[in-house]
């Protein structure tokens, strides 16, 4: 699929939600739209690790939290601008991705999942107990909003357009990475690591690269979230957040950029659409996901993509 088709998909999502904006342009609707944008970035970032590199990671909320705390601390304690804090936080988070990946990258499957799950909990406990820096369970309030040419982002509409730009940039960059030599090598490692080694590809190098890239983009989402909500605490980055992001990747389809977008949209909007059956909405969502896994295990957008992606790249095509 060409890059313009991904843009069409994103535009289609926006058009589908446009009637809601026109009928009731309120903060609640905009908040949902902004949340969708954040989770599109998070889903894409985890898909680099799981879908393309084939590494089963269960602690992605930790990277999300590191990005949020790094950005918040830079702005609160060093008076750094949001436009500097966001890329700085993303780079810091990417370095933590390398730090995590270095000792565990040779693990596979469940073992890697358990280690990354433990990493996620360790990070959350650091946020809770490092009171002198993070204020512990009380969290960090008063995180500054972005300011551009003297204009301060105060309205949700401002943040909506900002996350729209960040999501579009993330889609573009991930697309370029996946359709480069890096992406081909990641897919080769995912399909057959022994074969990859035999033709001179270094699996450890590219797996570490996948962890760093995935963490980097999760840091972007975290930095945005911190400034948008103006308050963060350890409770915002729990294990269930990692599971939720993982569900988006699986539901939409692993190794699929449109799948990541679709999974994020579905799992953010579904709880809101089911509010009228509040007592049963989580049960209904669970049943729907189980049924989808039974009848379409590759996800909504993953089956055909996974079958063709690797072989097209082998032939030198730039389409997934």
pLDDT value, residue 19: 44
Res. 319: pLDDT tops 50: no
Rounded to whole angstroms, the Cα distance separating 250 from 288 reads 13
pLDDT value, residue 318: 44
Q: Which residue has the higher pLDDT, 211 or 105?
A: 211
Res. 92: pLDDT tops 90: yes
Task: Select from 149, 124, 146, 147 the least CA-distant residue to 63.
Answer: 124
pLDDT band at 7 (very low <50, low <70, confident <90, very high): low
pLDDT mean over 300-311: 56
Spans of all domains in the chain: 3-314
Res. 162: pLDDT tops 60: yes
Res. 105: pLDDT tops 50: yes
Res. 232: pLDDT tops 90: yes
pLDDT value, residue 157: 82
Task: Select from 110, 293, 95 the least CA-distant residue to 208.
Answer: 95
> Which segment, 17-26, 102-111, 272-281, 300-309, is predicted with the most confidence on average?
102-111
Res. 154: pLDDT tops 70: yes
pLDDT mean over 147-163: 90
Range name among 154-158, 294-298, 299-303 with the lowest pLDDT average: 299-303
Domain 3-314: assigned CATH number: 1.10.3470
pLDDT mean over 30-48: 94
Q: Which residue has the higher pLDDT, 131 or 106?
A: 131
The string of pLDDT tens digits covering residues 122-134 is: 999 999 999 999 9
Res. 23: pLDDT tops 60: no
Backbone CA torsion sign across 267, 253, 93, 149: negative
pLDDT value, residue 111: 87
């Amino acid at each position: 699929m060409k890059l313009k088709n991904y843009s069409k998909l994103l535009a289609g999502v926006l058009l589908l939600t446009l009637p809601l904006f026109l009928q009731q342009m309120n903060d609640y609707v905009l908040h949902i739209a902004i949340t969708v944008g954040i989770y599109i970035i998070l889903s894409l970032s985890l898909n680099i690790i799981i879908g393309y590199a084939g590494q089963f990671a269960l602690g992605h909320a930790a990277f999300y939290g590191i990005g949020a705390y790094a950005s918040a601390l830079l702005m609160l304690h060093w008076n750094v601008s949001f436009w500097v804090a966001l890329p700085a936080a993303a780079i810091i988070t990417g370095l933590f991705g390398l730090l995590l990946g270095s000792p565990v990258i040779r693990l596979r499957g469940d073992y890697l999942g358990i280690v990354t799950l433990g990493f996620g909990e360790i990070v959350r406990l650091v946020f809770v107990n490092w009171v002198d820096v993070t204020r512990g369970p009380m969290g960090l309030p008063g995180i500054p909003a972005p300011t551009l040419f003297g204009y301060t982002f105060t309205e949700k509409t401002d943040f909506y357009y900002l996350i729209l730009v960040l999501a579009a940039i993330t889609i573009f960059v991930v697309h370029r990475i996946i359709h480069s030599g890096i992406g081909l090598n990641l897919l080769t490692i995912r399909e057959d690591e022994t074969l990859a080694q035999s033709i001179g590809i270094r699996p450890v190098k590219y797996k570490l690269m996948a962890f760093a890239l995935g963490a980097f983009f999760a840091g972007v989402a975290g930095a945005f979230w911190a400034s948008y909500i103006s308050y963060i605490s350890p409770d915002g980055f729990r294990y269930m957040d990692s599971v939720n992001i993982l569900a988006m990747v699986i539901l939409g389809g692993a190794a699929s950029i449109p799948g990541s977008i679709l999974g994020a949209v579905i799992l953010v909007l579904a709880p809101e659409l089911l509010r009228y059956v509040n007592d049963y909405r989580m049960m209904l969502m669970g049943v729907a996901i189980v049924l989808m896994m039974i009848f379409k295990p590759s996800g909504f957008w993953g089956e055909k993509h996974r079958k063709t992606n690797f072989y097209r790249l082998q032939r030198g095509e730039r389409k997934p």
